[in-house]
Amino acid sequence: MSTPPRGRLADAYDLVIFDLDGVIYLSDKAVAGAVEAVKRLHDAGRSIAYATNNASRRASEVADLLTGLGVPAAADEVLTSAAAAARRLGDRLEPGARVLVVGAEALRQEVVEAGLTPVGSADDQPVAVVQGYGREVGWVILAEAALAVRAGALWIATNTDRTLPSPRGPLPGNGSLVAVLRTALDREPDEVIGKPQPVLFEEAVKRDAADRPIVVGDRLDTDIEGAVGAGLDSLLVLTGVSQPRDLIAAPPHQRPTYVAPDLAGLFEDVETLAIAEGGSWQVADGKLHGHGDPIAALRTIAAAAWNGTDVSTLRGADDQATSALRALGL
């Protein structure tokens, strides 16, 4: 961004691109405060997009889920890795080409819509394999995919998220299933479509002709890395996968612009949310000094770590600082 934004975060950008799992909902349940936050943006006329790596639902199904949770959403606001992967195959392959589908019915439907023919066996001689998350994915279809790729089929993965957030904790994601084939084949997929690749973000920005978009996500290795790679500002919320310790240790290509506990941060001041040293907290002589919100302390600690300060043995200078570190799990 050429000019630093000012004012409330929601007012400083003309498009908010949300991740879904871990940001808006966990499995099929809304994250606390998420519905109210998104409705406030809608009521204010803000442009919104949803970009999800989860390939188990089509855009219309995602919109229905969001609407059912109380979030007004339209299918054309949703971008999924399943649809993007199918479009990519449709661009690369001849019409009607056979594609072995590893994933949910939603991915199969996207392949059909792209003008291709989904199959379920290597014996059908598919020219490509597309792999996305599906709860029913098991050994049988993974074995067929391995045989097809060994026979020369193009291998496209919708995403490589190792885990999915859930109310019970992280669960195996598509990346874990991709790892099965990676191990069996001793190679990487030919292409990965979803975040951290920029495809979904680029589509969202193009659709809205946005000049100042921001990405909101819960994962440093997908949402935030994708935003950094696309040159976009980003807000990390701590309602999903990545947590304070992960933020502090983040490499440069996974560092968000802002951090907040949840989506209520969209309505806070930009300068308050920015990850920077200073304010009511300081790191000095191996200790955290200051007072106030633990998340404000996290912003200071992360900024200090990114600037080269060793915070691995950071201690609280007093009871309030010690309490803040404890609240952050540090």
Helices (H), the chain: 34-43, 59-69, 81-92, 105-113, 139-150, 174-185, 199-208, 225-230, 244-248, 270-273, 294-306, 319-327
Task: Look at the pTM and tell me if it is higher than 0.85.
Answer: yes
Whether the link from the prior residue into 198 is cis, omega within 30° of 0, is: no
pLDDT tens digit sequence for 223-259:
999 999 999 999 999 999 999 999 999 999 999 999 9
Dihedral of alpha carbons 227, 228, 233, 234, sign: positive
Q: Which of 11, 21, 233, 262 is catalytic?
A: 21
Of 27, 5, 25, which Cα lies nearest the Cα of 171? 27
Contacts of 30 (CB under 8 A, 6+ apart): 24, 69, 70, 71
Reported as type and span, the H/E element at residue 25 is strand 25-26
How confident is the model at residue 1, as a pLDDT? 46
Residue ranges in the chain modelled with pLDDT below 70: 1-4
Contacts of 51 (CB under 8 A, 6+ apart): 17, 18, 19, 79, 195, 200, 201, 203, 204, 215
Instruction: Let me know the angle formed at the C-alpha of 72 by 70 and 76, rounded to the nearest 5 degrees.
Output: 140
Contact (CB, 8 A) for 215 and 204: no
pLDDT tens digit sequence for 199-208:
999 999 999 9
Residue 310 designated active-site: no
Q: Which of 19, 221, 223, 233 is catalytic?
A: 19
How far is Cα of residue 253 from the mean position of the Cα atoms in its chain?
Answer: 14
pLDDT tens digit sequence for 284-300:
999 999 999 999 999 99
Helix (H, G, I), strand (E, B) or coil at 167: coil
Two tokens, residue 117: 């023919």
Residue 218 designated active-site: no
Q: What is the DSSP string of 34-53?
A: HHHHHHHHHHTT-EEEEEE-
Two tokens, residue 113: 């819509």
How confident is the model at residue 278, as a pLDDT? 84
Contact (CB, 8 A) for 58 and 78: no
